[in-house]
Amino acid sequence: MRVLLIDDHALVRKGIETLLQSRGIDIAASVGSGQEGIEKAKELKPDIILLDMKMPGMTGPETLQMLRSEKIETPVLMLTMSREEQDLAEALRSGAQGYLLKDMDPEDLVPALNSALSGDNVVAKELIGSLTRIVQGKTDEPDKPTDRHAGLDNLTPRESEIIGHIADGQSNKVIARELDITDGTVKLHVKAILRKLGVHSRVEAAVIAVENGINRKGKK
C-alpha cells in the first residue's frame, strides 16, 4: 500500500509517516499543501490519500474536488481534528471515502486504510451519530443537493438491489454474502452505481437512496 499524506502541519505528517512505516506501509509522498498534493497524486498515483480537512489556501474539500475534477479516483480519507457535523457532511459530499480524527487510536489507522481500499466507507466511531443524521437528511448542511435521483432510473435491477443494501450501511463483504456473489462483483456494481448517480462515495449514494425511500426491501 502506497499512501500520499497531505497536511499543512509538518509535525503531524512526520508522526503519521513514522506510524505507517513502522507497520510496513510505503509513504509515496508527504506534502504540506493541497496544490502539492494534487501534483503528487498525478505523478505518483498512490493507492490511497490521507488529507487534512482544514488547510490554509486550498482546504481539504477543495483539494478533493480538484482531485476528482482531474479524474483522480484514488480513495481519499480525511484526517482532521474537526468533529463538526457540517465538516463531515462537506467531506463526504466532496467525495471522501472516509473521515478520521487525528486523536484516533494509532492501532486503528492501518485497518481503516485497508477498509477504504476494500471499497468501504470509514467514519470515526465518535461521529456515527452525525453520519446517521446526514444519511437520513436531517443535517442543516446548506449545500444539500436536491433532485439528484434521476440516475436511479438508469440502474439495473441488481444495482438497484445493491444500493438498497448500501443505504442500510452494509459493507461490500456483507452485501456479497447476502446476495451470494463475490466481493469483486459487488465492487464493480458499486462503481457503476456511483458513476450513474454522478457521485464519488457510497455515503452520497446512500443519501440518494434514503431520500427516495430505498432500502434492502426495495422502494418503500
Task: Cell 438491489: give the residue.
Answer: 161
User: Per residue in 106-136, pLDDT tens?
Assistant: 899 999 999 888 877 888 888 877 777 776 6
Model confidence band, residue 95 (pLDDT cutoffs 50, 70, 90): confident
Fold: same for 2-135 and 150-219: no
User: Per residue in 162-172, pLDDT tens?
Assistant: 998 888 778 88
Alpha carbons 74 and 22: distance in angstroms, whole number? 23
Q: Nine-digit cell at 198?
A: 454522478
User: Cα–Cα distances in Å, from 156 out to 149, 190, 198, 204?
Assistant: 14, 12, 16, 19
* CATH T-level fold of 2-135: Rossmann fold (3.40.50)
Report yes or no: 137 and 211 within 8 Å, Cβ to Cβ.
yes
For the chain, give every domain's residue range. Answer: 2-135, 150-219
Per-residue confidence (pLDDT) for residue 149, from 0 to 100: 62
Alpha carbons 79 and 81: distance in angstroms, whole number? 7
Per-residue confidence (pLDDT) for residue 206, from 0 to 100: 80
Kindly state the helix (H) or strand (E) to which residue 51 belongs, with its residue range: strand 48-51
Size of the chain in residues: 220
How confident is the model over 56-60, as a mean pLDDT? Answer: 92
User: b/e string for 121-138 if b means 16 or more Cβ within 10 A?
Assistant: bbbbeebeebbebbbeee
- Give yes or no for residue 57 having a pLDDT over 60: yes
Cα distance from N-terminal residue to C-terminal residue, the chain: 41
Alpha carbons 43 and 178: distance in angstroms, whole number? 39
Strand partners, 2: 26
Per-residue confidence (pLDDT) for residue 64, from 0 to 100: 94
Alpha helices (H) in 100-150, listed in sequence order: 109-117, 128-135
* CATH T-level fold of 150-219: Arc Repressor Mutant, subunit A (1.10.10)
Per-residue confidence (pLDDT) for residue 139, from 0 to 100: 54
